Amino acid sequence: MGGARTALFNWLYARHQEGTFILRIEDTDKERSTDASIEEILESMRWLGLDWDEYYRQTDRTDAHLRAAQDLMDRGLAYEADGAWWFRVPTEGSTIVHDDLLGDVTFPNDLLKDFVIRRSDGSFIYHFVVVVDDADMEITHVIRGDDHLNNTPKHVLLFQALGRPVPRFVHLPMILGTDRTRLSKRHGDTAVLEYRHRGFLPEAMVNFLAKLGWSHGDEEVFSRQALIALFSLDEVNKSGAIFEDTKLLWLNQQHMKLADLDRLLDLVRPWILEPGRVNEEMWNTVDQEVLRVGAHLLRDRCKTLRDLAQAMELLFDVPLEPIDEIIVSAIQAPLMIAVAEQLECTDPFDPESIERDMRAALEANGATLKDVALASRLAVTGRRAGPGLFEILAAIGRNLVTARLREAAQGAGE
RNA sequence: GUCCCCAUCAUCUAGCGGCCUAGGAUACCGGGUUUUCAUCCCGGCGGCAGGGGUUCAAAUCCCCUUGGGGACGCCA
């Protein structure tokens, strides 16, 4: 999650500046960097919509690393010991890191020790490779996590030894878990893709992550375009933030309300099909307008795509999965039959006509809407709560509505 | 232990010396709207870690303490 936030800030900065966003996989540790772990990173980036202009793996650039290391050896700035190549750190003076966020941070050199740049097996160490790559790729801004601040003097020294300009640094504060320690797999860090699985919208995740450390006055809800337009390093915070998903849930709801309806339907589709009650054919043959209107009515009370999918199931011709018990009294049953009969001829089948005809039918039977409102809602939707009765009836459609009314009336008193 | 960073409500934060008896958002609690629920609107709860300075004036600047985090690998 921390990596995603770092990637996002880099991406926002690059896009805002209309610069180049390079995705570089730091795979110099064979143990850590597997095809699966790299694929997860790529898929997370794709899901979040963080598109890249160039792509590298550091291990693809070994030739360049070797040339740079050999250069240091040739000039006596590095030496070999125990089969590894070591960078010689000056014993005197100090190294200053100019950080655009934190200001100047001074590290006495005598506290730094010589460090390995090339392992005895011939592979290179991250600290060395990252500097060579940044220099070769003419990276202007190094925006990364706070945990790298202590490594930065090493990097500065290497840039200087290589005779290359030192880029600008921005060290972002850590994202903390609810236990206040750095977010890690052991302490409740959830993979980015897990949030996709939980039914979050990528733009909500992006909005949330952006706000974790960046703020723009009192504004809370940002579209991707707005973030690109407004993002500025000047508005980045210096202190660590705890990752709590209560606000993420709220943001997701906000973005679901903002989302284009057709896109929302595409996104919610897998969740509706997943339980298996609604199949592909039913999805394809149902009136699209039913889905659009239904999604529009239902999304106001949903936090995630999962919630929405569960709610939208009632739009399909499948047995209701009642959330609340459907209770129809012996007195209500004939009234509901009368309503069903009336609705067979209601035309058009829209909220206004339904309300008018329903009230008329009830009045003709000496009853009022109040007598059957809740029972009808339960019969047709399987729950006590939901959108306006006439709106949801109209959205569900005549056939399902009348069938469910009759079915519930028949089961009355059981 | 050594070094580095950070410090405003439970959480995310605004604040860059006077506009602050500290503003917004989430969460929570009330009220309104809604035939229901949600949305929405209104209100409430709740914080400048502590102590010294500097200044006419400090949440804002400086120092100390405390607290939190991070780094000290032939990991990144």
A283 CA, B19 C1': Å apart: 58
Q: Does the domain made of A332-410 have the CATH classification 1.10.10.350?
A: yes
A236 CA, B15 C1': Å apart: 14
A17 CA, B59 C1': Å apart: 33
Could you read off the pLDDT of A216-236 as tens digits, one per residue? 999 999 999 999 999 999 999
Reported as type and span, the H/E element at residue A249 is: helix A245-258
Question: A8-26 burial, b if ≥16 CB within 10 A, otherwise e?
Answer: bbbbbbbbeeeeebbbbbe
Protein contacts on strand B: list nucleotides below 7 Å from a Cβ. Answer: 2-8, 11-15, 23-27, 34-40, 68-76
Q: Say which CATH class A185-256 falls into.
A: mainly alpha
Reported as type and span, the H/E element at residue A140 is: none
Residue A389 near residue A377 (C-beta atoms within 8 A): yes
Could you read off the pLDDT of A357-398 as tens digits, one per residue? 999 999 999 999 999 999 999 999 999 999 999 999 999 999
The A 367-386 residues near strand B by Cβ under 7 Å are 369-370, 373-374, 377, 384-386
How far apart are alpha carbons A27 and A29 in whole angstroms? 5
Query: Cα–Cα–Cα angle for A140, A56, A26, nearest 5°?
Result: 80
Name the residue ranges covered by the structural domains of chain A: 2-174, 185-256, 260-315, 332-410
Q: Which amino acid is at A315?
A: L
Task: Give residue A134's pLDDT.
Answer: 96
Q: Say which CATH class A2-174 falls into.
A: alpha beta
Could you read off the pLDDT of A179-193 as tens digits, one per residue? 888 876 656 667 899
The residue assigned the tokens 């926002």 is A12
A92 CA, B27 C1': Å apart: 53
Could you read off the pLDDT of A13-67 as tens digits, one per residue? 999 999 999 999 999 988 888 899 999 999 999 999 999 999 999 999 999 999 9
How far apart are alpha carbons A25 and A372 in whole angstroms? 63
Residue A313 near residue A272 (C-beta atoms within 8 A): yes
Task: Give residue A73's pLDDT.
Answer: 97
Task: Give residue A188's pLDDT.
Answer: 60
A221 CA, B19 C1': Å apart: 27
Residue A153 near residue A221 (C-beta atoms within 8 A): no
pLDDT bucket at A292, cuts 50 / 70 / 90:
very high
Residue A102 has pLDDT above 90, yes or no: yes
Give the E-state strand segments of A194-258 in sequence order.
241-242
Strand B contacted by A155 CB (< 7 A): no
Residue A157 has pLDDT above 90, yes or no: yes
